[in-house]
Amino acid sequence: GQLTAQWQATDTLVATLDYTFSEVELDRTYSNLSAWFNFGAQETLWTDGPQASPRVYTENLAGSDYSMGGGQDAWKARNGATGINLLWDATDRLTFEFDYHDSTAERSPNSPFGDSALLSTAAFTRDRTTGYFGHELPVLELTLRNPLSPQDMIVTGSVFQNNLSKMGINQTRLDGHYDFDVGVIESIDFGIQLTEVNNRSAGSVVQRDAWGGVTQPGAIADLLTPDSAADAFDQIPGGDDSRRQTEFYRFDMAELVARTEALMASGDATIFQLTDMGDCGTGLCTSSRFTSDRRTVEESAALHAQANLGWTWGTMPAGLRLGLRYEDTDVSSEALSPAYTAINWVAGNELNAIQADPEFTQLSGSYDLLLPSIDFRLDLTSDVLFRFSTSETMTRPNYGDIQGGQTINSLVRIDGGTGNRGNPGLLPFESSNYDLSFEWYYADDNYAALGYFVKDVDNFIGTASVVENTFDLPHPGLGPLADEARAATGSSDSGLLYTWILENRADAAGVDAANGVISGVAGRDPSAPFNLTVPVNIEKATMKGWEVVVQHNFGDTGFGVIANATIVDADVGYDNFSLAQQFVLTGLSDSANLIAFYDKEGLSVRLAYNWRDNFLAGTGQNNVGSGPPTYVGAYQQLDLSASYWVTENMQIYVDALNLNDQTTHVFGRAWMQTLFAGQAGPRYNFGFRYKL
């Protein structure tokens, strides 16, 4: 909702007060099914070429798990903004405007299980696993030892997250405008702006890496409901493959948590010990003790001035704006980040880092910039305009990048782990911009425009990958016990190594065969390497492209069309043939939109077709580090919106989004290397607006 009050204090002073509030709640439940590869007993078929991708990948490992999880996401977001504006006509030529703005945005958990929770179950009856990668949706085919039965299902691991984010923006601005009577200089604008942004993100994770199971078969059978994913991906190529594993069980998370806790209390289920067992004490809930708490304060002061000139060049009216802006910014970041003490090997390729008490760190950074701008306009005819602009602009780093602190992913692999850390010392993007355009206004409300742009970007923010022995955590999979297992088995399969150590080195330091845990031992096992992703200012880049737009109204019928397209190019792109860390520009692609509309007598209808070509979304993939690329496939969507003013104060509206049921495909170096495939379906919004 929004409330605005205005007061005409005097003939020359107007005061305006406004307040805006919004609240959004999300409550989502979902089920998933998965089969984790352990990279042993393989059969493979690959594509040709240097960017080889698996067509078929098979593992023959008897007794592996077929995992079925249930998840719940629940959060509440609140936004509030208060603004005060004073507009004063000091004289006929001099005007001042004072503006104060204070706004907050907060998102918090909205469930007893936090804002994001996942509880997993599994049947250890998977003997053969095959993935077929010839479609956008990879096909998972499972050979189970016996038909899927609830009697084979047991409770395994879980993840409960409790995340809070809050941002506050306090901004004060004083602007002035002075008009001249005569001369080339028509007016000047000037002002000062002070901004303070406080950003906080905090959270805790209670993660039980009990993927080998904690209950006995049959103990939860009555809580499981058979389900099928056969029709879930019918619009994605590969979704109708008859080999795809579709049968699974779903469950109510609250019921399964209660049953598991009851089994733990009676001694019929194993209690998986964690440093923080959550507020419930069983590990099956969130923790109110934050292990990560990152707070950033960004303070900026800016001065600006602009001269507005106008004259006649021959018979052609011309205009010129000369501007200059000075920005000074200080950044300070305080971060409570998790600390870790050990690595425990708990199953196959699953090792977890054990958390200790978190620690606070403080970092800071600063920068100042001088940003000029020039805008020139020339009326070639009464219908045709020429524009040229050049400017220096900046784009501040996002708040996730400038937050201090370091976090590693608690799930470590046999060859090491991954993590990330922020960089409060990041400089903003600095861009030198050049824009050239012609505009033709060939009738009332009808025009066509063609533009060419060039952007030279300095201090571009990308990601760097560094390998460090973070926290000096001994890794049991890289030490002498694992070396003995490799020699004895002749295999590098992590599951075989893990089993061999438990069976043959049960008396060794750090080995708890009874509970299936192998802990790293300082002095015996080398420290685990972690591939850390760090935001850095790395390179320069040039972007250039064309923009074209046409708007045409069919007389006074109310009907019209709008068409626009952008063609963009850059001098840096991702080289799929290189495994090295690369500097790239993300999010660049050609795009086009076509809109048909009707707007007359209170009724407005818009039918929009939107298209975007493939683009590089970023670098970095889960459990692989920051090097490999992430691409988003070409996307086209059809949207319809309509609104009608029932009275002068009341408007009703309807939005229909993604009417063509477009799907999403995210992939790696080749389109067959699918990272994500999604089918969201059409979405519909209905509502009304009322103004007092």
Q: Mind listing the pLDDT tens digit for each residue in 361-419?
A: 777 888 899 999 999 999 999 999 999 999 999 888 877 777 766 777 778 888 888 88
What's the predicted TM-score (pTM) here? 0.78
Q: Is the pLDDT of residue 425 over 90?
A: no
> Percent of the chain, pLDDT > 90?
68
Gap between the Cα atoms of 316 and 311, Å rounded? 9
450-487 burial, b at 16+ Cβ within 10 Å, e below that, comes to: ebebebbbbbbbbbebeebebbebbbbbbbebbebbee
Q: What are the residues facing 619 on neighbouring strands?
A: 629
- Token couple for 99: 């503006």
Element (H, E) at 255: helix 253-266
| Environment class of 496 (CB within 10 Å of its CB; exposed 0-12, middle 13-18, buried 19+) | buried
pLDDT band at 628 (very low <50, low <70, confident <90, very high): confident
Per DSSP, the three-state class of 220 is coil
Q: Is residue 469 part of a domain?
A: no
pLDDT, tens only, 303-314:
999 999 999 998
Lowest pLDDT segment from 364-378, 416-430, 496-510, 671-685: 416-430
Which pLDDT value is given to residue 541?
Answer: 82
Residues 6 or more apart in contact with residue 376 via CB below 8 angstroms: 318, 319, 320, 321, 387, 388, 389
Nearest to 32 by CA among 229, 240, 213: 229
Q: Is residue 160 part of a domain?
A: no
Give the residue-averaged pLDDT of 539-560.
92
Q: How would you classify the pairing of strands 530-553 and 417-421? A: parallel
Q: Is residue 491 part of a domain?
A: no
Q: Is residue 531 part of a domain?
A: no
Give the residue-averaged pLDDT of 477-496.
90
Gap between the Cα atoms of 156 and 142, Å rounded? 20
DSSP state of 55: E
Gap between the Cα atoms of 514 and 507, Å rounded? 11
Check: CB of residue 194 under 8 Å from CB of residue 172: yes
> What is the crossing angle of helices 494-504 and 480-489, to 10°?
100
pLDDT, tens only, 6-63:
999 999 999 999 999 999 999 999 999 999 887 778 899 999 878 889 999 999 988 9
Gap between the Cα atoms of 213 and 217, Å rounded? 10
Q: Is residue 154 part of a domain?
A: no
- Token couple for 472: 């000096």
Give the residue-averaged pLDDT of 91-109.
96
Per-residue 3-state assignment (H helix, E strand, C coil) for 624-642:
CEEEEEEEECCEEEEEEEE
Element (H, E) at 262: helix 253-266
Check: CB of residue 85 under 8 Å from CB of residue 97: yes
Residue with structure tokens 């861009």? Answer: 431
Q: Is residue 536 part of a domain?
A: no
pLDDT, tens only, 225-240:
999 999 889 899 999 9
Check: CB of residue 542 under 8 Å from CB of residue 571: yes
Instruction: Tally the domains of the chain.
Output: 1
| Environment class of 587 (CB within 10 Å of its CB; exposed 0-12, middle 13-18, buried 19+) | exposed
Residues 6 or more apart in contact with residue 245 via CB below 8 angstroms: 33, 35, 66, 140, 141, 142
- Token couple for 308: 């507005």
Element (H, E) at 480: helix 480-489
Q: How would you classify the pairing of strands 517-519 and 683-690? A: unpaired
Which pLDDT value is given to residue 622?
Answer: 66
Check: CB of residue 460 under 8 Å from CB of residue 537: yes
| Environment class of 682 (CB within 10 Å of its CB; exposed 0-12, middle 13-18, buried 19+) | middle
CA atoms within 13 A on the CB side of 588: 17
Residues 6 or more apart in contact with residue 7 via CB below 8 angstroms: 14, 15, 16
Q: Is residue 147 part of a domain?
A: no
Check: CB of residue 616 under 8 Å from CB of residue 573: yes
Which pLDDT value is given to residue 623?
Answer: 61
pLDDT, tens only, 462-471:
777 778 887 8
Q: How far is CA 49 from CA 14, 279, 494, in A?
A: 70, 53, 29
Q: What range does the domain containing 623 cover?
A: 582-692
Q: Is residue 544 part of a domain?
A: no
Which pLDDT value is given to residue 143?
Answer: 95
Check: CB of residue 306 under 8 Å from CB of residue 190: yes
Q: How far is CA 474 from CA 410, 470, 611, in A?
A: 14, 10, 50
Which pLDDT value is given to residue 571?
Answer: 78
Check: CB of residue 474 under 8 Å from CB of residue 525: yes
